[in-house]
Chain A
Amino acid sequence: MLKPLLQFGVIAASFFLIWFGLDRIDWMTIFQVEKTTKNIEEKLGDLYWDILKKIDDEITDKNVISPVDSLITRICDRNDINRDKIKLHVVENGEVNAFALPDYHLVVFSGLIEECENEAELCGIIAHELAHLEKGHIMQKLVKEVGLSVLLSMTSGNGNPEIIRQAVKVLTSSAYDRKLETEADLAGADYMIRAGIDPEAFAQFMFRMSENEKGLPDQLFWISTHPGSEQRTRAILDYIKDREFTEEIVLDSLQWISLKENSANH
């Protein structure tokens, strides 16, 4: 009995030794894993954005873009997120919605800007979407719900139009699973605290939207695609309960009103 045991030990040891030895080699560089992943994300991001901009017009008015850009820049700068990689698109659409696409495309609907009562609420949604981007949730969700083979065929230009349409729907109008949403909520709250923006505003916004949801289900896209808003509001409030932060306003009240007005004019 001892002999087979020893032999098994030798086989197991050789397996781990080979594994350990191979682990010394930098396979990530050899196989260009990061570059390939980035290429796929870039192609998918561009493909998604190309489709979306055909549906809704992008707002290029500086009076709208600059203030939103200032909010994003504040969150990024205080959280070591590279601002340059974020591609902001403000879209002319009355739905209360914002979402992130692969390769750091961040789409904000003008309806969301109009619905927010202050900059902190808008920052809350932006921080939440940035958290999805930073934590790699976008590709995770796409692979899970659309499938890797479909995504690869989309990037090679061979995607079936109906499948592409469904794939677009996955990111723009359906929620991440509860675990990822909670992770993004709490990370978003952290981003806000570090950026000197009141995270409670995000919780309040979610609560307000969930209350309004019954009356206007079609317009409140963001909240209807983020279920369990009441529990999530409580979770955020619990998370930030004992956290201290100093509020530093990004936009003054005139700039905020101007942003809302300009956004509504489109």
Chain B
Amino acid sequence: MMTTSSIGYIPSDHEAEKASNSYLMSLIAVIAGLPLPIINLIATVIFYLGNRKGTYFVRWHCTQALLSQFSLLIINTNGFWWTIGILFRDGEVTNQYIAYMITVFLFNLVEFIATIYTAIQVRKGKHVEWWFYGDLTNMICKK
């Protein structure tokens, strides 16, 4: 699901730190943003905007961190509004709802672990590409 490849040069320590921070930003946002899923995205977007003119290594990882938030945003937002519906409208807790929330939790957990792993590797200057998001980032982010 993840590959470590080369980007053609060895990033400096300063670059590695910035690129790694883009993943940490999404982690901090996960903690601060719960239960409002949109905050994750806003935090990574702000970090992305601040670094979009940085070096290729920094830009690339900011983009991957940002893109990885989108799919989570969709499923988390759906879970959020479903919960609101149960609490404040005429919805009720169903088996389907519990199964959905467990699935959402599993996907968030996988993303959480992957993000920590990637942040550590990127801090070491390694270029980690995620499955799907890596390809998408390669299409968006040009040298």
Contacts and interface: CB of A to CB of B under 8 A. Distances in A.
Interface of A: 1, 3-4, 7-8, 10-11, 15, 18-20, 22-23, 25-28, 31, 33, 37, 135-136, 140, 143-144, 148
B75 A15 contact: yes
Contacts of A148: 87
A4 B139 contact: yes
Interface string B62-105: 00000000010001000000000001111011111011101100
Interface of B: 71, 75, 87-90, 92-96, 98-100, 102-103, 106-107, 131-132, 135-136, 139
Residue of A1, A15, A31, A144 ringed by the most chain B CB atoms within 10 A: A15
A4 B98 contact: no
Contacts of A23: 95-96, 99
B132 A11 contact: yes
Contact of B132 (A4, A19, A26): A4
26 contacts: A1-B139, A4-B132, A7-B132, A7-B135, A8-B132, A10-B132, A11-B71, A15-B107, A19-B99, A19-B100, A20-B99, A22-B99, A22-B102, A25-B99, A27-B95, A27-B99, A28-B93, A28-B95, A28-B98, A31-B98, A33-B98, A136-B90, A136-B92, A140-B88, A144-B87, A148-B87
A10 B132 CA distance: 10
Contacts of B88: 140, 143-144
B64 to A, nearest CB: 13
Given A1-B139, A4-B139, A8-B132, A140 B90 contact: yes
Contacts of A10: 132
B98 A27 contact: yes
A136 B90 CA distance: 8
Given A23-B95, A23-B96, A148-B87, A18 B135 contact: no
Contacts, number: 55
A194 to B, nearest CB: 23
Nearest to A17: B103
A140 B106 CA distance: 29
A22 B103 contact: yes
Contacts of B90: 135-136, 140
Given A28-B94, A33-B93, A140-B89, 19 more contacts: A3-B135, A7-B132, A10-B132, A11-B71, A15-B107, A18-B106, A19-B100, A20-B99, A22-B98, A22-B103, A23-B95, A23-B99, A25-B95, A27-B95, A27-B102, A28-B93, A33-B98, A135-B90, A143-B87
A17 to B, nearest CB: 9
A19 B98 contact: no
B111 to A, nearest CB: 11
Contacts of A143: 87-88
A241 B128 CA distance: 71
Q: A10, A19, A33, A135 — which one has the most chain B CB atoms within 10 A of its CB?
A: A19
Nearest to B89: A140
Contacts of B131: 7
B95 to A, nearest CB: 5
A25 B94 CA distance: 12
Contacts of B93: 28, 33, 37
Nearest to B92: A136
A106 B96 CA distance: 33
A4 B99 contact: no
A253 B29 CA distance: 70
A56 B90 CA distance: 32
B134 to A, nearest CB: 9
A152 to B, nearest CB: 12
Nearest to A145: B88
Contacts of A18: 103, 106
Contacts of A22: 98-99, 102-103
